[in-house]
Amino acid sequence: MLNFLFLAGGIVLVIYGANFLVDGSSSVAKKLGINDLVIGLTVVAFGTSAPELTVNIFSALKGSTDIATGNILGSNISNIFLIIGVAAVIYPIHIQNNTKWKEIPFSLLAVVALGILANDTLFNNETENLISRSDGLILLCFLVIFLIYTFGMAKNRNSLIIQNENIKKLPVWKAVLFIIAGLVGLYFGGKYLIEGAVNIAKLMGMSERVIGLTIIAVGTSLPELATSIAAARKKKPDIIIGNVIGSNILNVFFILGITATINPLPFNAEINFDLLIAILASILLFITTITMGKKVIVRTEGIIFLIIYFSYITYSVIS
């Protein structure tokens, strides 16, 4: 029972810790005169990835590398099949040309690049698979390219990622308190979450890979799921696809890049199946933009996504 409390409490702590960190950091950045575009592309974007990053760092340091890679791939898969699927069932999702021809292919490139870098026995005739420190640095280089593209695109559109009213204007002392509380929440949340997950995996005879792909991946994606459902119900789902694709790209290039740079990650060959599912998810997402509604993910496609997701989860758990 205690392990389940650690797991649930850890998820809550990392989610709320990330929210506090984003609110406090955004407020400080605003007071320093940093514009909304930069805040949105840096503080908010990376802050919302804090739960996955925290989980991965603790997993890597604890030696539970299957949780680290499973968490990233599971999060990417759930982002497309679960979050976009649920949102599309509620209300059709429109796709912009830049997202269709640049960002979705870039998210596909992320998982393909990960597959190439991780499978050393296949591509380099090595004796074991490893996401090495140099692989992590390569992923971070891809991240820089993506950020340059994102900043350029945002400036060309002359758009703001987030509006003034969405940034909480807090007194400096309160903003600093939020940042400290967020960091503390992320630290203890990540620690307890991984401890609970590893113990549950051992007690239930489940692999750490499956725990990472299912409970942890979905748990750390709950804020995105709630936000997407709210946007779809308000019939404003346009931002959903951009947030999901951006999250998938950051998951691989930023989170796995940072994690592998800190501590190289042995790569379990069994995870190649999940890697292929993540690749399939990106391909199917692109296909939905040229079929049926064209540039629109319609309800039928959302239902198909959900069927694929729950079939995949069921297979992962019972296999």
Which residues make Cβ contacts (< 8 Å) with residue 280, sequence separation at least 6?
none
Which of 119, 158, 113 is closest to 137 using CA atoms?
113
pLDDT given for residue 241 in this prediction? 80
Which of 200, 262, 179 is closest to 10 using CA atoms?
200
d(CA 211, CA 257): 21
State phi, psi for 44 to the nearest 5 degrees: -70, -50
d(CA 45, CA 89): 26
Other C-beta atoms closer than 10 Å to the C-beta of 310 total 13
Report whether 193 contacts 14 (CB < 8 A): yes
Q: Which amino acid is at 11?
A: I
Q: Which amino acid is at 19?
A: N
Other C-beta atoms closer than 10 Å to the C-beta of 167 total 19
Q: Which domains does the chain have, with CATH numbers?
A: 2-318 (1.20.1420.30)
The DSSP result for 107-120, as a single string, is: HHHHHHHHHHHH-H
Report whether 67 contacts 256 (CB < 8 A): no
pLDDT given for residue 154 in this prediction? 66
Local confidence pLDDT in tens for the 319 residues of the chain: 787 888 888 888 888 888 888 888 888 887 777 766 566 656 766 777 788 888 888 888 888 888 889 999 999 999 999 999 999 999 888 887 777 888 889 999 999 999 999 999 988 888 899 999 999 999 999 999 988 888 777 666 544 444 444 566 788 888 889 888 888 888 888 888 888 888 887 787 788 888 888 888 888 777 777 777 877 887 766 667 877 888 899 999 999 999 999 999 999 989 999 999 999 999 999 888 776 557 788 899 999 999 999 999 999 888 7
Report whether 280 contacts 287 (CB < 8 A): no
Other C-beta atoms closer than 10 Å to the C-beta of 166 total 13
Q: Which amino acid is at 125?
A: N
Q: What angle do CA 49, 52, 55 make, to 5 degrees?
A: 145
How confident is the model over 34-69, as pLDDT tens digits? Answer: 766 566 656 766 777 788 888 888 888 888 888 889
Which of 17, 67, 47 is closest to 214 using CA atoms?
67
pLDDT given for residue 36 in this prediction? 62
pLDDT given for residue 208 in this prediction? 82
